[in-house]
Amino acid sequence: MVGIGYGMNSLIRQCAQYLVEVPSRPASKPVSPGTEYASVRELGEQMARPGGLTSADLVNYLQERIRTLNPQLSAVIELNPEALETARELDRERASGKVRGPLHGIPILLKDTIETQGMQTSAGAFGLVGAVAGKDAPIVQRLIEQGAVILGKTNLSELAGFRGGPDGWSSRGGQTRNPHNPDADVGGSSAGSAAAVAAGLAPLAVGTETNGSIIVPAALNGVVGLKLSVGLVDRNGIIPASQRQDTPGPMARSVFDAALMLNGMSGSDPQDPQSTGAPQGIDYTKLLVPGALKDKRIGYPATFSANGESQPVINSEQFAQTLKVLEAKGAILVPIDMRIADASRYGELLYSDVKDELNAYLQKRPGLPAQSLDELIKFNEARDGTETDHQPMLHEVNASTLKPEERTALWDDLIEDFRSTVDDPIKQNKLDAIVSDFETSSYFAVAAAGYPGITVPSGTNEEGLPTSAYFFGTRWAEPTLLAVAHGYEQAAQAIPKPVLSKDQSRSRQ
């Protein structure tokens, strides 16, 4: 299924151990069917009722759902053995009158690049399976402080895509499958986070993105993915690619839930130069109100231009409908020309960053089989053989020769060029946001600029697979983007739900 030489049966047995280590325990009472797709607010309301749903009930229910469905999805790579006891403690807090916030008792999955105390943080690579990280990443600490229950870790494209291989495949976790169709593209690298949320394995998940790694799998799996402005939240404790591009971000089944999760993750690193000017103390749900689209000026690419020549955009039927929904709710639509920046050196610069930053990170993680890129490549060769190159991108990264002093000015010019492709039409047309069809790949330019974007399900195509609209804007524009995306989502009501083997008796909604 994923290419000759990966030894899938052996790999499935090896990664399955991480799921079965947590003993199955019966819930204290049955959980209502459909709870797996309840929103965070609905779950909180159920937990607030006397004698209602408990966090322990929910965690146990979702653990059993993962055990049932994960063999066909390979979305979850490891369960947290402490999740059930953590949920019980949070239930005791609630019973005593202490509620930490909207995330109190809510299970969350984390991408396996995010350091989590007591669990592996391996980026899906067996070469990084060893001693666990000594502490939680700051964003994990903040989520726990808000009452979230860390349910487990999600599968991904190995090394966040920098090994080189099928999207959603890792040697440790196997091939993540799209819950809408196992043969469909699942996207990468945060494939497991997107598939898990789409399949009702958890209401929330954290993904990470360098370029496209939240937006692409969220769009293809039919969930909401929020790629943040680089530096908006603390990025320590996350296996890096490039500090100029990396960011974690929420993945959820609704824009409101993504905003709640961002509230819980918020707090930047004062030592991070990318965080200069990052807004603090914002309630990202505040603008998610009825009528949020009225009089909003929203641009959409009518043409893309490069080298002085413009090409018209041929929009899909789904995107044409997206524009109609926005206009019907009072948005002012403005056709724009979007310039395509020169990306010819992007890969060269990115790979050089990855080489330096991943080597530095591995040197600081004691107790791993590989503590450098050279060692990781040799580990993979010993494990998987050398007849076929199973790590082509990792070889390219390791062969990079650009020094930090050589690429700083090049990066600065490239990022500024990409930022102008977003800033210029927004400034010239006095726009609140821009929307495009996900299929136009405008997310690449937004990510290269270090800017925010959010993908929202827009329905399904003729093959029954999810389609998405992509909203984006300038730096720190998250509050406005969330408001616009929420307004569209509420009007469109187009979130698809997969039909899984466990749920065959339920119809698609």
- Quick check: 331 pLDDT over 50? yes
Task: Check whether 25 has a pLDDT greater than 90.
Answer: no
> Which of the four pLDDT bands, split at 50, 70 and 90, describes residue 501?
confident
Catalytic residue, from 55, 74, 111, 193: name it.
111
% of residues, the chain, pLDDT over 90: 90
Residue 160 near residue 121, CB atoms below 8 Å? no
pLDDT of the residue at 398: 98
Convert the pLDDT of each residue in 223-275 to its tens digit.
999 999 999 999 999 999 999 999 999 999 999 999 999 999 999 999 999 99
Stated as kind and residue range, the H or E segment containing 428 is helix 404-429
Over residues 356-372, mean pLDDT = 97
- 427 annotated active-site: no
**Mean pLDDT along residues 193-199:** 98
* pLDDT confidence tier of residue 18, bands split at 50, 70 and 90: low
Residue 399 has pLDDT above 80, yes or no: yes
- Known catalytic residue at 213: yes
- Paired sense of beta strands 174-175 and 204-209, if any: unpaired
Q: pLDDT class for 20, splitting at 50, 70, 90?
A: very low
Q: Which of 189, 229, 275, 352 is catalytic?
A: 189
170 is an active site residue: no
Banded model confidence at residue 353, pLDDT cuts 50, 70, 90: very high
Q: Which residues contact 238 (CB under 8 A, 6 or more apart)?
A: 113, 114, 115, 137, 139, 208, 246, 248
Catalytic annotation, pick one of 122, 213, 229, 458: 213
Residue with the bigger pLDDT between 4 and 333: it is 333
What average pLDDT does range 288-300 have in this prediction?
A: 98
Neighbours of 117 (CB within 10 A): 17
pLDDT at 503: 63
Domains detected in the chain: 105-501 (3.90.1300.10)
As a whole number, mean pLDDT of residues 15-39 equals 67
Beta strands in 444-505 (DSSP E): 453-460, 466-472
Q: What digits encode the pLDDT tens for the residues 148-176?
A: 999 999 999 999 999 999 999 999 999 99
Whole-number average pLDDT of the chain:
93
What pLDDT does 12 receive?
35
Residues 501, 157: Cα–Cα separation, whole Å: 24
Could you tell me the pLDDT band of residue 509, with boundaries at 50, 70 and 90?
very low
Q: For residue 277, what is the DSSP state? A: T
Query: Which tokens sit at 116?
Result: 């989590």
pLDDT number for residue 29: 73
- Per-residue pLDDT tens for 43-101? 999 999 999 999 999 999 999 999 999 999 999 999 999 999 999 999 999 999 999 99
Burial class (CB in 10 A: 0-12, 13-18, 19+), 221: buried
